[in-house]
Copies of this chain bind each other. A is one copy, B any other.
Amino acid sequence: MMNNLLDGIEEILLMGPGPSCVPPEVYTALSRKTLGHLDPYFLKIMDGIKEMLLQTMNTRNMLTVPISGTGSAGMEASFVNLVESGDKVLVLVNGVFGQRMTDVAGRLGAEVSTLEFAWGTPVIPETVEKKIRQNHYNIVAVIHAETSTGVMNPVAEIGAMLKGLDTLYLVDTVTSLGGIEVRMDDWNIDALYSGTQKCLSCPPGLAPLSFSEKAVTRLNARKTKVPNWYLDLSLIANYWNSKRVYHHTAPVNMLYGLYQALLLILEEGLENVFRRHLKNHMALVSGLQEIGLQMLVKEPFRLPMLNTVLCPEGVDESSIRRRLRNEFKIEIGGGLGPLAGKIWRIGLMGYSSREEDVSRLLNALKKILQTR
């Protein structure tokens, strides 16, 4: 017998920028017996997932599916289906994930413009309004919850500005969905995607995605084929709708996990879930301030599920994270890009947003900072 590393996996409290902790019911779901991807019973489970995604996203869009890849595959799928070479795309950038959008769209031949905002501050709607009045864009894209900075962007306001324009509105809700309100239809969003490993508290591996009718019309009117067979939504849609045409073999057990994760959220009730996220965020922030730590983001723009904390001068942030992981079995995240070495990122996402865990983290942090 070879040494099986899986036997040595310890339970770590996941309070980084994702993955988040997974509830026991979701682990059970993952290990249910695999069914064929065209099995009549599995098709019912697919319909259940679709129905629950519609509720969670607050949309009625027919084209609502989990993409067979992680959250970044959702970003890729959104752009590759909607962009044709030479299309004008405006990306609102205030962190790593906005930057990633410019890279993704640029590789697809889009003519990408950006509006940049300081990291740790939100996108300013007035600046966006000026830009979209001066230029025509095929797509305007923004991150709802910028995971690299902990900032919430004014997605609803920007959506309102785009109403009536011939522009598609593409929004990343990877970190927001299931943690704060997302109202796809009311906010005029045309392409929305998320990931399973944040507030949905299912392991990473799927990217829930939805396209409005306007986005589907654009997709169907393409002059060129989608330059990505695997993520071609016109093909994927025919597997998820009543035609049930085989495209690729769906990730069956991951879909069980997503089904269960969505069920838990809807059973708790979206409003209750959001309230819980907010409450634990407030407790964390006040606890951090008690031990002398400051937040990166100003109050009205803070994300409840992703808290960015300034590392005090002279403290080696990575050594603190290492001690948290090794001595206290808690994972938190470090900064990315210009924020590397300067901040911690504390996730209170989904099943990781629990009162007792906030206390556990605060106590551990206090001990470590006192014994440096």
Contact = CB atoms under 8 A, between A and B. Distances in A.
A104 B248 CA distance: 13
A267 B2 contact: yes
Contacts of A104: 229-230
A289 interface: no
Nearest to A246: B336
Contacts of A76: 228-231
A318 B203 CA distance: 36
A11 interface: yes
B249 A9 contact: no
A59 interface: no
Contact of A36 (B19, B73, B229, B260): B19
Contacts of A16: 36
Per assembly, the copies of the chain total 2
Contact of A35 (B9, B75, B80, B249): B9
Given A5-B259, A33-B9, A36-B14, A229 B103 contact: yes
Q: Is the interface of A mostly helix, strand, loop or mixed?
A: loop
Contact of A6 (B32, B226, B250, B267): B32
A252 B9 contact: no
A4 to B, nearest CB: 6
A325 B39 contact: yes
Contacts of A41: 5, 8-10
Contacts of A254: 203, 205, 251, 254
B70 A2 contact: no
A52 B103 CA distance: 33
A31 B203 CA distance: 10
Nearest to A232: B107
B6 A33 contact: no
Contact of A69 (B204, B230, B260, B266): B230
A197 interface: yes
Interface stretch (A20-28, A160-168, A176-184): A20-28
Given A16-B36, A72-B230, A104-B230, 7 more contacts: A6-B45, A12-B35, A69-B230, A75-B230, A107-B226, A205-B251, A228-B228
29 contacts: A4-B260, A9-B33, A9-B256, A10-B41, A12-B39, A14-B34, A27-B33, A28-B31, A30-B30, A39-B325, A39-B331, A68-B69, A68-B70, A68-B205, A69-B230, A70-B248, A71-B248, A72-B248, A72-B249, A73-B248, A75-B230, A76-B231, A104-B229, A107-B225, A107-B229, A203-B252, A203-B254, A204-B249, A205-B205
